[in-house]
């Protein structure tokens, strides 16, 4: 009987306490000026805020690192593209500079005066450079362009390069004076001499040997050596080189070293001279002797009879 009474009193007591707790909680919430949802939100934020701070401390640097890596990759791609564009621009610039250089050379050739006579000139590109096995140059002009064996060749400054060694229909070989076995007849300080090729020096400079057999005066360093009027291979007055040291005659002759103006392995354009202007006519004129003819007038005899 006692147990039943206790059970009957416990349930109303629990309900009463529950109602009182809810009332106190509602009263407290109203005093704070917020609703139940606000209280729950505040509590949740109080719990989650530290976690958010920790997450931000860890996640934000990682996100920034990922962004930085992405930016670096993008910058590298842009750098590669810019480098490619720069290479193309530089190649275009070199091409333009090359064309301007060629134009300037052609303009020089247009106004080039080799001798007092108006010699025919053929501008040619060097398509084959000399090497250790063959010292000859190859040019892109041949017999169809008026280039023939034996014609003299100069550079764009008018300096002697050599002579045509052989010619085909569309190309020809040039034998530089620095490799030619035949001596060049030259003039230095009004003295006639011969200029011979010789082996490269130790420092790979091209030099030639000047010999004057009837030397009256010394030659000095810096004296210009030009082709002589008695030369059979070149017109007179073409610059060949410069004397390197002072040399005095000994026994009526002297030998000096000459540095040629032209380095064959650096040539890109050359000029072939049609010299002599008409070698065939010149040869024929020498071979056919001049014939002198005389005209005999008939003699008229008049007979006068005596009256």
Query: How does DSSP classify residue 116?
Result: S
DSSP 8-60: HHHHHHHHHHHHHHHHHHHHHHHHHT--HHHHHHHHHHHHHHHHHHHHHHHHH
Cα separations in angstroms, 47 against 43, 157, 175: 6, 92, 97
pLDDT given for residue 49 in this prediction: 59
The Cα 161–Cα 264 span in angstroms is 7
Mean pLDDT of 152-159: 93
Q: Which of 9-23, 29-43, 212-226: highest mean pLDDT? A: 212-226
Cα-atom radius of gyration of the chain, to the nearest Å?
52
Task: Please state the pTM of the whole predicted model.
Answer: 0.55
Mean pLDDT of the chain: 75
pLDDT tens digits for range 74-84: 788 888 888 88
Mean pLDDT of 254-264: 93
CATH number at 122-278: 2.40.10.340
Cα separations in angstroms, 99 against 59, 95, 104, 190: 60, 6, 9, 41
pLDDT given for residue 65 in this prediction: 65
Higher pLDDT, 148 or 277: 148
CB atoms within 10 A of CB 263: 14
- Phi/psi region, residue 252 (left: phi>0; alpha: psi -120 to 50; beta: rest), is left
The first and second tokens of residue 280, run together, are 């065939």
Helices 2-32 and 36-110: crossing angle in degrees, nearest 10, is 40
The first and second tokens of residue 108, run together, are 């020089």
Query: How does DSSP classify residue 234?
Result: S
The first and second tokens of residue 21, run together, are 């707790």
Rounded to 5 degrees, φ, ψ at 250 are: -135, 115
Rounded to 5 degrees, φ, ψ at 127 are: -110, -5
Kindly tell me the number of DSSP H helices and DSSP E strands found in the chain.
Answer: 3, 12
Q: Is the pLDDT of residue 229 over 70?
A: yes
């Amino acid at each position: 009987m006692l147990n039943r009474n206790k059970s009957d009193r416990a349930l109303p007591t629990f309900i009463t306490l529950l109602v009182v707790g809810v009332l106190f909680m509602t009263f407290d919430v109203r005093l704070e000026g917020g609703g139940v949802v606000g209280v729950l939100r505040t509590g949740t934020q109080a719990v989650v805020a530290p976690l958010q701070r920790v997450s931000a401390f860890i996640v934000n640097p990682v996100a920034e690192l990922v962004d930085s890596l992405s930016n670096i990759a993008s910058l590298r791609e842009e750098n590669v593209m810019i480098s490619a564009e720069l290479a193309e621009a530089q190649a275009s610039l070199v091409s333009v500079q090359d064309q301007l250089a060629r134009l300037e050379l052609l303009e020089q050739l247009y106004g080039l005066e080799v001798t007092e006579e108006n010699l025919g000139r053929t501008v040619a590109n060097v398509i084959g450079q000399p090497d250790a096995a063959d010292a000859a140059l190859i040019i892109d002009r041949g017999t169809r362009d008026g280039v023939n064996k034996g014609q003299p060749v100069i550079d764009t400054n008018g300096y002697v390069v050599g002579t045509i060694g052989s010619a085909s229909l569309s190309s020809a070989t040039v034998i530089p004076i620095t490799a030619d076995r035949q001596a060049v007849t030259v003039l230095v300080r009004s003295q006639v001499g011969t200029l011979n090729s010789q082996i490269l020096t130790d420092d790979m400079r091209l030099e030639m040997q000047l010999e004057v057999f009837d030397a009256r005066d010394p030659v000095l360093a810096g004296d210009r050596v030009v082709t002589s009027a008695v030369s059979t291979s070149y017109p007179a007055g073409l610059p060949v080189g410069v004397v390197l040291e002072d040399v005095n005659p000994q026994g009526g002759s002297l030998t000096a070293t000459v540095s040629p103006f032209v380095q064959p392995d650096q040539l890109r354009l050359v000029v072939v001279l049609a010299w002599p202007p008409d070698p065939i006519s010149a040869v024929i004129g020498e071979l056919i002797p001049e014939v002198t003819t005389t005209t005999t007038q008939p003699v008229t005899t008049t007979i006068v009879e005596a009256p």
